C-alpha cells in the first residue's frame, strides 16, 4: 500500500491535513485513481461503497485548482443532498489549510436565492444534485463556462433515479471541461452507455476487494414475526449502533415508534423529512445520542456513517444491488461488520437472499431479558456555527472552564455553517441549557435547544 507522500507535488498543506486526520496509506482506489487524475485523464472507476472514492477525486481536484482564479473549476454531481453535504464536509476538512478555498453546495430544499448569492461571491468547487443544478442553469444564476473538471459520484444511483438526460444537459453546458470522472459502486450496462457518451478515451479502474467477503458477516433469518425477531437479534448482538432498513416511509415511522416504546434510543430518516431533519437524524446517529437509525433507502447510498456495528434489513429490498449498498454501511474502510436480513417465508421477490447468505438460527428456548440500545447522550443545537467563527475548542473551553463540565460529559461536536450540534450527557443537560441562557461563547450568546 502506497502512502499519500508518494503523490508527486502533494502540497504540504494537504499532506499535513491528511496526516492530522490520520490518513497515511491510500486505499486501493485512491492509489490507482489519483495519479491518473493528476495526468488529466478521463476515468471510469468502479469500487465498492466505503473504499474511499471521495478522497480519490477530491484530493487531485484540490491539487489542480488554481486558487488565484475566483471561478468554479470543479463540478461534482451527486444523486442526493445528503451525499452533497457529506462530500462538502470532507472537502472542506481537506481544504482547511488552503487559503480562501471556497466550495458551494447546490441542492434542493433550500432557497435558490441564497445559493445564487453564494455563487456570486465566487467559488472554486461546486457540489450539486442534478435537479438543482438545472434550476440554476435555467435561471441563469449558474455559469459552467469555467468548469475544467466534472465528477459524477454515485453515477449508478443517479441513473437509477432517472437523471440520465439531466446529466447530459448539465455536462453539455460546461463547454470548457477538459476532464470527466465517473465513479460508481456498480457497473450496470446503463453506466457503460453513459461512459461511452461522456468520457474521452477513459482509463477504466475496477477495484475488486480482496477481503470484502470477510469484512461483512451477512446472515438471513426466516421469520413471520419481525418485531420479535428483531428484538432477538438485538439481544444476541447487543450492538452499540444499529441501522435498520425498511422499504416504505410508513413502515419506517411505525417501526421507529415501536422501538422507542421498547426503550431504544431511535431516530429516523426518510425522503419526506425536510433537509434539516434528515441532517439532524444523521448527526444524532453518528454522535451516538440516537444509536438506532431506522431508514428508507434515502440513507443507504453514499452517506458516510462510520462504524455501524449492525445493519438489519427489516424489509429486504427487491433489488439485489440495493441490498449490497445497504449492507455496505457496516464494515467500512477496513473495520468488520455484521448484517442480518429478515426474510418473510414465501416472498419470491426477495428470495435471492436465501442463495448465498448464511442462515442464522435463533435460540428460541432462551428467554433472556430484552437488551435496550440506549445512550447517555442527548444532542443539543446552538444557533451559530462556522460562519460565526465558532470552533470546537471554543465550545469545549467554555463548557469545561466556565460551565464546569467534565470532558466526558461532552460528546461529539458537529459544526455546520450556521449551527452547531453537541452531544451532552443527559444528566447535565438541563443545567447546560440553563447556563447557556447567560454564558457567552467567544463573547456571544447563543440560543440552545434539545434536538429530539
Ligand atoms: P466511498 O465513497 O467509496 O463509499 P468514502 O469516500 O465515503 O467511500 O470513504 C469511506 C470512509 O473511509 C470515510 O470515513 C473516509 O474518511 C475513510 N477513508 C477514506 N480514505 C481513507 C484513507 N486513505 N485512510 C483511512 N480512511 C480513509
Ligand atoms: Mg462515495
> What string of DSSP letters covers 22-69?
T--BPPHHHHHHHHHHHTT--EEEEE-TTS-HHHHHHHHHHHT--TTS
| Cα of 25 from ligand 1 centre, angstroms | 11
Q: Is the CB of 52 under 6 A from ligand 1?
A: yes
Q: Is the CB of 49 under 6 A from ligand 1?
A: yes
Q: Is the CB of 184 under 6 A from ligand 1?
A: no
Closest residue (by CA) to atom 23 of ligand 1? Answer: 26
pLDDT band at 306; cut points 50, 70, 90: low
Cβ(424)–Cβ(376) below 8 Å: no
pLDDT band at 3; cut points 50, 70, 90: very high
Torsion over CA: 62, 299, 187, 206 (sign) = positive
Query: Mean of the pLDDT values across residues 208-219?
Result: 65
What is the pLDDT, as a whole number, of residue 436? 95
pLDDT of 211 higher than 50: no
| Cα of 344 from ligand 2 centre, angstroms | 31
Cβ(285)–Cβ(303) below 8 Å: no
Distance, CA of 175 to CA of 139 (rounded, Å): 18
- Among 19-23, 245-249, 416-420, the minimum mean pLDDT is found in 19-23
Phi, psi of 269 (to 5 degrees): -145, 130
Question: To 10 degrees, the CA torsion angle through 88, 89, 94, 97?
Answer: 100
* CA proximity to 354, closest of 343, 370, 364, 363: 343
Cell numbers linked to 394:
471554543
In sequence order, the 6+-apart residues with CB closer than 8 A to the CB of 65 are 73, 74, 101, 124, 125
pLDDT of 212 higher than 80: no
Query: Mean of the pLDDT values across residues 300-321?
Result: 80
| Cα of 30 from ligand 1 centre, angstroms | 10
Distance, CA of 207 to CA of 217 (rounded, Å): 20
* Mean pLDDT score of the chain: 91
Q: Would you say the CATH fold of 377-450 matches that of 4-206?
A: no
In sequence order, the 6+-apart residues with CB closer than 8 A to the CB of 1 are 25, 26, 28, 31
Q: Beta-carbon neighbour count of residue 85 at 10 Å? A: 20
Cβ(1)–Cβ(26) below 8 Å: yes
Most confident of 87-101, 306-320, 344-358, 421-435: 421-435
| CATH T-level topology, domain 230-359 | Rossmann fold (3.40.50)
**Ligand 1 atom nearest to 48, measured from its CA:** 3
pLDDT band at 328; cut points 50, 70, 90: confident
Q: Is the CB of 50 under 6 A from ligand 1?
A: yes
Q: Is the CB of 304 under 6 A from ligand 1?
A: yes
Distance, CA of 175 to CA of 147 (rounded, Å): 8
What is the pLDDT, as a whole number, of residue 100? 87
Query: Mean of the pLDDT values across residues 315-340?
Result: 81
* CA proximity to 109, closest of 77, 80, 151: 80
pLDDT band at 118; cut points 50, 70, 90: very high
pLDDT band at 97; cut points 50, 70, 90: confident
Residue 233 CA: distances (Å) to CA of 216, 317, 365: 16, 19, 14
Cell numbers linked to 224:
413471520
Query: Mean of the pLDDT values across residues 200-225?
Result: 80
Q: Beta-carbon neighbour count of residue 5 at 10 Å? A: 12
- pLDDT for 27-51, tens place per residue? 999 999 999 999 999 999 999 888 8
Query: Mean of the pLDDT values across residues 406-412?
Result: 91
- Residue whose C-alpha cell is 503523490: 7
Question: 273 versus 425: which is more confidently predicted?
Answer: 425
Q: Is 106 helix (H, G, I), strand (E, B) or coil?
A: strand
Question: To 10 degrees, the CA torsion angle through 174, 179, 184, 189?
Answer: 80
pLDDT band at 367; cut points 50, 70, 90: low
What is the pLDDT, as a whole number, of residue 278? 87
pLDDT band at 307; cut points 50, 70, 90: low
Query: Mean of the pLDDT values across residues 57-61?
Result: 98
pLDDT of 209 higher than 80: no
Question: 189 versus 450: which is more confidently predicted?
Answer: 450
pLDDT of 297 higher than 60: yes
Cβ(110)–Cβ(87) below 8 Å: no
pLDDT of 214 higher than 70: no
Q: Parse the chain into domains and list their residue ranges.
A: 4-206, 230-359, 377-450
Cβ(148)–Cβ(179) below 8 Å: yes
pLDDT of 87 higher than 70: yes
Ligand 1 pocket test, pick from 25, 54, 186, 282 with the greatest ligand atom count within 8 Å of Cβ, gives 54
Q: Beta-carbon neighbour count of residue 42 at 10 Å? A: 22
Query: Mean of the pLDDT values across residues 324-337?
Result: 74
Ligand 1 pocket test, pick from 10, 22, 52, 208 with the greatest ligand atom count within 8 Å of Cβ, gives 52
Work out the percent of the chain whose per-residue pLDDT is above 90: 70
Ligand 1 pocket test, pick from 43, 55, 85, 181 with the greatest ligand atom count within 8 Å of Cβ, gives 55
CATH of 377-450, one of 3.30.70.330, 3.40.50.300, 1.10.3720.10, 3.40.710.10: 3.30.70.330
pLDDT of 364 higher than 80: no
Q: Is the CB of 315 under 6 A from ligand 1?
A: no
Domain 4-206 is in which class? alpha beta
- Among 217-221, 273-277, 292-296, the minimum mean pLDDT is found in 273-277
Work out the percent of the chain whose per-residue pLDDT is above 70: 95
pLDDT of 235 higher than 80: yes
Query: Mean of the pLDDT values across residues 165-169?
Result: 96
Amino acid at each position: 500500500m502506497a502512502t499519500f507522500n508518494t503523490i508527486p507535488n502533494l502540497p504540504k498543506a494537504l499532506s499535513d491535513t491528511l496526516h492530522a486526520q490520520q490518513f497515511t496509506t491510500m486505499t486501493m482506489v485512491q492509489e490507482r485513481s489519483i495519479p491518473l487524475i493528476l495526468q488529466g485523464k478521463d476515468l471510469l472507476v468502479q469500487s465498492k461503497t466505503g473504499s474511499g472514492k471521495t478522497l480519490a477525486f477530491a484530493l487531485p481536484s484540490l491539487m489542480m485548482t488554481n486558487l488565484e482564479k475566483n471561478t468554479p473549476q470543479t463540478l461534482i454531481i451527486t444523486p442526493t443532498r445528503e451525499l452533497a453535504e457529506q462530500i462538502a464536509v470532507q472537502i472542506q476538512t481537506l481544504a482547511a489549510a488552503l487559503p480562501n478555498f471556497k466550495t458551494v453546495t447546490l441542492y434542493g430544499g433550500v432557497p435558490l436565492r441564497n445559493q445564487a448569492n453564494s455563487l456570486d461571491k465566487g467559488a472554486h468547487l461546486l457540489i450539486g444534485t442534478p435537479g438543482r443544478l438545472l434550476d440554476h442553469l435555467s435561471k441563469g444564476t449558474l455559469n459552467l463556462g469555467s468548469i475544467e473538471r466534472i465528477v459524477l459520484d454515485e453515477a449508478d444511483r443517479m441513473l437509477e433515479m432517472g437523471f440520465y438526460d439531466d446529466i447530459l444537459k448539465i455536462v453539455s453546458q460546461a463547454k470548457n471541461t477538459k476532464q470527466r470522472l465517473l465513479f460508481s459502486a456498480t457497473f450496470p450496462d446503463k453506466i457503460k452507455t453513459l461512459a461511452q457518451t461522456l468520457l474521452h478515451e477513459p482509463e477504466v479502474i475496477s477495484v475488486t476487494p480482496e477481503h470484502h467477503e470477510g469484512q461483512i458477516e451477512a446472515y438471513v433469518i426466516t421469520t413471520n414475526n419481525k418485531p420479535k425477531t428483531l428484538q432477538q437479534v438485538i439481544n444476541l448482538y447487543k450492538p452499540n449502533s444499529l441501522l435498520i432498513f425498511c422499504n416504505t416511509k410508513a413502515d419506517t415511522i411505525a417501526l421507529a415508534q415501536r422501538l422507542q416504546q421498547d426503550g431504544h434510543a431511535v431516530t429516523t430518516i426518510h425522503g419526506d423529512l425536510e433537509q434539516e431533519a434528515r441532517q439532524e437524524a444523521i448527526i444524532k446517529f453518528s454522535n451516538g445520542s440516537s444509536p438506532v437509525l431506522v431508514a428508507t433507502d434515502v440513507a443507504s447510498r453514499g452517506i458516510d456513517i462510520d462504524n455501524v456495528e449492525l445493519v438489519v434489513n427489516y424489509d429486504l429490498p427487491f433489488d439485489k444491488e440495493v441490498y449490497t449498498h445497504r449492507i455496505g454501511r457496516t464494515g467500512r474502510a477496513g473495520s468488520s461488520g455484521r448484517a442480518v436480513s429478515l426474510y418473510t417465508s414465501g416472498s419470491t421477490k426477495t428470495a435471492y437472499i436465501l442463495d448465498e447468505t448464511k442462515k442464522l438460527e435463533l435460540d428460541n428456548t432462551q428467554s433472556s431479558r430484552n437488551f435496550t440500545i440506549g445512550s447517555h447522550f442527548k444532542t443539543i443545537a446552538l444557533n451559530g456555527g462556522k460562519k460565526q467563527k465558532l470552533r470546537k475548542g471554543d465550545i469545549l473551553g467554555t463548557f469545561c472552564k466556565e460551565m464546569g463540565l467534565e470532558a466526558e460529559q461532552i460528546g461529539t461536536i458537529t459544526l455546520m455553517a450556521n449551527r452547531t450540534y453537541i452531544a451532552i450527557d443527559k444528566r447535565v443537560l438541563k443545567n447546560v441549557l440553563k447556563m447557556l441562557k447567560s454564558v457567552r461563547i467567544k463573547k456571544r450568546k447563543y440560543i440552545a435547544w434539545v434536538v429530539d
